[in-house]
Amino acid sequence: MIFDKNSVIDGLIIPVFKPLNWTSFDVVKKLRNDFKKAFKLKKIKVGHAGTLDPLATGLLLVCTGKSTKIIEKLQNLEKTYLATFYFGKTTPSFDMETDFDKSFPIHHISENLIIENLKYFTGNIQQKPPIYSALKFKGTRMYEIARKGENIDIDFRNVTIHEFKMLNNNFPEFDFKIKCSKGTYIRSLANDFGKKIKSGAYLKYLERYSIGKYTLKDSYTIESISKALLNN
């Protein structure tokens, strides 16, 4: 991708690879500063179309200039994830952000059991977002409430799982491909799936592969974008 001042201001949609341990805002902040420095801008609108957790990697759509007006439209696009669920243990955050809190039996889990239960999480389903999330409850981020050790009654949300497919069996880990709607929490899906098969599970790995027509194979690293801007 070739960057110039006019195109950045007029509006770009940049598929970016978000690395591990970066927040989505970290990516936006870094690129906004790079754009301002490269083109000597006092300000430039930069945003992203769909948050990825720090422990997740993969595709993040970064919008500049006038393209920030269509962020909501981009957020509504179907998303595809590659995920690893680890069975037999759970964490309060449903992923590896927090320590294990419970252990469960796994002797009864087989590949067939996993495949047979995928159908219960395909189509229109209801799920509760994790309490360790950036959603707000009465004006406060839920992860702030969770870190204080407080409990809240989280409402169910309607989401759609278009495809839920097992890719690999590395028992007690299983890899999945998941196509889903906006608002789906893969961490919650892992937790709910563990309960369904009378065990427990947490999300060990998550990579977002696509958002609508945009795919990870077409994405740019943060370093490559910064380097391209330095060469302008």
Hey, which residues are catalytic here?
A: 53
**Backbone angles phi and psi of 84, in degrees to 5:** -120, 120
201 touches 86 (CB < 8 A): yes
Integer Cα distance of 229 and 206 in angstroms: 29
**Kind of pairing, strands 136-137 and 140-141?**
antiparallel
**Backbone angles phi and psi of 108, in degrees to 5:** -90, -5
Helix or strand holding residue 30 (H, E): helix 24-39
Helix or strand holding residue 174 (H, E): strand 173-180
